[in-house]
Amino acid sequence: MDNDTSPKVAPQATLDSSELVGRGNREGNRLFKEWYGRVSSGPERGEKAAYVFVMGSAAELFESFGFNLVLPEINGLQTAVRHVAEDYIDQAEGYGFATDVCGYVKADVGMQLRGGDHPMGRIPPPDLALQTNVCNTYIKWGEIWERLYHVPVVTLDIPGSRAAGRLPGRGHVDYENDLAYVRGQVDELVEVCEQVSGRRFDQDRLVEAMSHANSMTRDWVRVLELNKSRPAVYNAVTDGTVYLGAVNALRGRVEGADYFRDVVEELEYKASHGLGTPFEERHRLAFVGVPCYPIYRKFSEMFTQHGGIFVGSSYTWFASGGWSTGYEYDLAHPLDSLAEGLLVTGRAAMDTMFHVDRVLAEMAEPYGIDGIVFHAIKSCRTVSSGLADSRRAVLEQADVNALLIDSDHMDPRVVAEAGMRNRVDAFFEGLETRRLLAGARS
Amino acid sequence: MGTHVLDDWGGLSLDELLRDCRDLVEDPDYPTVRRWREAGGKVVGHFEVYFPEEIVAAAGLLPVKIHGAPIEARQGDAHFGSNLCSIVKTSLELALSGRLELEMFVSHPICDTARNLAAVWGRNVPYPCEILYLPQNATSRHAATYLRGEYQRLQRGVEEIAGRTVNDDDLRRAIAVYNENRRLLRRLYEIKRETPWLLQVDEAYVLVALGGRIPREEHNLLLSAVIPMLEQRGTAPQDRMRIVFEGGFCEQPPLDLLTTIAQSSYVVDDDLLIGLRWLSEDVATDGDPLANLATAYLDHSSYSPVQHDDRKPKEEMLLRRIRESGAGAAIISAAKMCEPGLDEQVPYVRALEAEGIPYFVNEFEENMTSFDSLQIQLETFIENVLFAGAEV
């Protein structure tokens, strides 16, 4: 019986390693800067800005209307990675927002109050915004833009799973009720897009964007699967975040499809040649939550210095908007399929936060996971509220070690680096001890 | 099921009745629910804010509103992170400690923590736990149809628990009982607005809250007796500031906090336990009862920071509440770590400043026990407003 669960990769003899390896990160960063440049200069070309969130962005529809996508969560994390988040957060707190409000929200409020000034460019104000309920804070966030700018802020309500594992599919009365609701809201969104853009809905342009999105989705699923390889071909937290930027910023665009085709090519090459990350791989880890952006590099090093490589990350599931499900649009029925895609992926994104224990238990064996790191962040109740309980549940289902640490993804004032490092060190001591004991037993 | 869960209260004075109601509401062991169960009844617990109790009552089950408790979350704490509101932890504690036994638990997508609550609860108890997805796009042309379908889904789950089907007449009878309850609760709040010296905020609170843990038929009997007694109460009006309390839509402030406020002001309106008073008008009893309930939720209802509805901008709704109750100031409160409540404080304060309405901002936690500081701050605020017109 073949127990090898590694992805099957065709050997590729003619590719040049120096060109291929690391290309995904280089190109991802280049495309990302290019995207910010396009967003910043959009008003000069008379282009309009649609503010959307990474979960339920409906990017393909906005692409078909020619909007530039602004992704406020990505704006927020960029201020944290570039160590200026505190300035923006301070400004929002001075405006009245409490310390316990989401750091992303406050960074955005700070940015809006300073006219869109941002480390990556000048972010235009919204002409239109779309808020889904995949994160409730999205809705409160959208209300802030309504008050600041008095522009259309559309809610797209995506009903999630009612209970763990309860996933009715096509034909089920509950699924069809949810789908009809989302489908109706998509029509309403199209009406608003037409009003704001001054353009009529163009089905051909939507189909083109959906076709690129389908290509990206297929490749995204492949990227996630390729990290079953030993050694892992990328670090799901650091490299994975670069890929996520492209998933969200370039969704529905030809350069996004091209980019992911290249990423798959690179990772398949690495897998077929036994190439891993630049670090020794002693422990294969799964990450749950959102990275600690205020100390992004040091946070990653806390794990890599012990040989801990993240082969999977719940961030790549929910922050890709649930596209890890592999849902592909039916191009013959674009609006129907857009609605179903939003329902299926939105629901999946929620499930990978609220019921993450189930996904982790399923992936532990095929990905060869030794340990799971749960990173609860003060800002985000969506991701973090249930982590302590999820950790307990996973430990009952899978034979792994698990670590729960607390910090924040935005606010450096609540990141206790030394304490976190101590706990990470102890976690690896536990993993090493477990390995020694396993070796002694065998 | 005609079970009565209250002790015989006939012959009690108003003060004795209010005292007994307070004792029941403050009792974390839910004696009324225990009595219901001892008689063979089944219980569906639902979390804040709004829940269509009529669907559960129509099946002969007892709907119980769960809104935390003034208890230590010994087990509940271990299942949640540290930066969360207290109500999710103490609510779960009620279940894990065995104080509140249920056949089903329902939460709502009111906030990110509450959605996690349903998942956490479901991983730790043997009975069904689920989310009722009340629509967040209240102005969509498709929201009412969707919500009717969602209520039908809930009804099927309730029928499984009850072991019987629910027909339209069952629902209509339940709606009629709840319409009567809504009428009585509206009258209670009229008394608060028109003659606040007859009914303190903490007294009104216990009268409303008790409805969330007894059958509404019994609550109607109680309110029908209490309201005439309130109307004839001999309390004389005092020179106190009329004030609106905002911030009690989910986690509830401790009763002693409300008592402290009552010592220095008349709370003429509030959003305390707004879910029990969410539907502002009677629900039609003819036609399709589930559709009627869905329409009422969307079109004839109150407001809160956790329901998005473009027709009801929260700050405008607050100003309307202040105007309609004749209040001269507002307490803008929020439960600690409650993100929606804290978010909403910003536009509330800006709107009040624009209108020149004095306001007092604070945070509370259901388990807080010291109110001396609050009392001093509140008295200072009131003195400033009365004598200097200043804002605090």
Q: Does B126 touch chain A (CB under 8 A)?
A: no
Which residues of chain B does A288 touch, with a Cβ-Cβ cutoff of 8 Å?
none
Whole-angstrom distance, CA of residue B189 vs CA of residue B187: 5
B291 to chain A nearest CA, in Å? 14
CB B227 within 8 A of CB B195: no
Q: How many CA atoms lie within 13 A of B76 on its CB side?
A: 24
Chain B window 335-374: which residues touch A at a Cβ cutoff of 8 Å? 336-337, 339-340, 342-347, 349-350
| Partner-chain residue, chosen from B135, B143, B339, that has the shortest CB–CB distance to A381 | B339
Q: CA A171 → CA A179, A180, A329, B148, B253, distances in Å?
A: 10, 12, 18, 18, 45
At A9 the pLDDT is: 54
| Partner-chain residue, chosen from B82, B113, B130, that has the shortest CB–CB distance to A406 | B82
Q: Does A396 touch chain B (CB under 8 A)?
A: no
Q: Does A137 touch chain B (CB under 8 A)?
A: yes
CB A137 within 8 A of CB A150: no
Q: Which amino acid is at B115?
A: R
Q: Does B120 touch chain A (CB under 8 A)?
A: yes
Chain B residue with Cα closest to A405: B81
CB contact under 8 A, B137 and A155: yes
CB contact under 8 A, A162 and B153: yes
Chain B window 297-316: which residues touch A at a Cβ cutoff of 8 Å? 305-306, 308
Chain A window 342-371: which residues touch B at a Cβ cutoff of 8 Å? 350, 353-355, 357
- Could you count the other beta carbons within 10 Å of the beta carbon of residue A178? 28
| Partner-chain residue, chosen from A181, A385, A388, that has the shortest CB–CB distance to B142 | A181
CB contact under 8 A, B79 and A157: no
A136 to chain B nearest CA, in Å? 5
Number of residues written out for chain A: 442
Whole-angstrom distance, CA of residue B150 vs CA of residue B320: 31
pLDDT, averaged across chain B: 96
The reply to whether ipTM tops 0.90 is yes
CB B47 within 8 A of CB B69: no
| Partner-chain residue, chosen from B113, B123, B146, that has the shortest CB–CB distance to A389 | B123
* Ordered per-residue pLDDT tens for chain A, 442 residues: 344 445 555 444 455 677 899 999 999 999 999 999 999 999 999 999 999 999 999 999 999 999 999 999 999 999 999 999 999 999 999 999 999 999 999 999 999 999 999 999 999 999 999 999 999 999 999 999 999 999 999 999 999 999 998 888 999 999 999 999 999 999 999 999 999 999 999 999 999 999 999 999 999 999 999 999 999 999 999 999 999 999 999 999 999 999 999 999 999 999 999 999 999 999 999 999 999 999 999 999 999 999 999 999 999 999 999 999 999 999 999 999 999 999 999 999 999 999 999 999 889 999 999 999 999 999 899 999 999 999 999 999 889 999 999 999 999 999 999 999 999 999 999 999 999 998 888 7
Contacts for A97 with CB less than 8 Å, ≥ 6 apart: A105, A106, A109, B342, B343, B346
Whole-angstrom distance, CA of residue A268 vs CA of residue A262: 10
Which residues of chain B does A135 touch, with a Cβ-Cβ cutoff of 8 Å?
112
Test mutation, A93, A148, A157, A360, chain B, max B CBs within 10 A: A157
